[in-house]
Amino acid sequence: MTANQVPSEPRHGSPDPTVDRVVPEEDLLRDRALGRLKKKADFRVHLLIYVLVNGMLVLIWAMTGASFFWPAFILAGWGIGLVANAVDAYVVDTPTEKQVTEEMERLRRR
């Protein structure tokens, strides 16, 4: 067989392109649930690190007797990222299959 020839039979273990691969809805829901649980767990770790590190910085500020509260810049900057992480973990939901299909149809019409 030369490089330009295509085998007439599929190789063992390769998917058959003529078979429609439909994922059961239960599997899709499970994957979405696992993804959400991971995001929530990641957020909790992020929150813990934020509290520990910034608590240490406030403690350093208090022990040095500085009059200007310089940890405010770190608290505010990092806090913006923490809020964004919370929104992603608890508010924003992954798109449903219906939303994905509608977006695909919209893109096809372009």
The pLDDT mean for the chain works out to 86
Task: Select from 33, 36, 70, 75 the least CA-distant residue to 54.
Answer: 75
Residue 102 dihedral angles phi and psi, to the nearest 5°: -65, -40
Distance CA 32, CA 49 (A): 26
- Whether the per-residue pLDDT at 33 is higher than 80: the answer is yes
Task: Give the range among 24-28, 47-51, 56-60, 88-92 with minimum mean pLDDT.
Answer: 24-28
Give pLDDT, residue 64.
95
Task: Give the range among 7-11, 15-19, 26-30, 90-94 with minimum mean pLDDT.
Answer: 7-11
Distance CA 24, CA 60 (A): 55
Predicted structure pTM score: 0.66
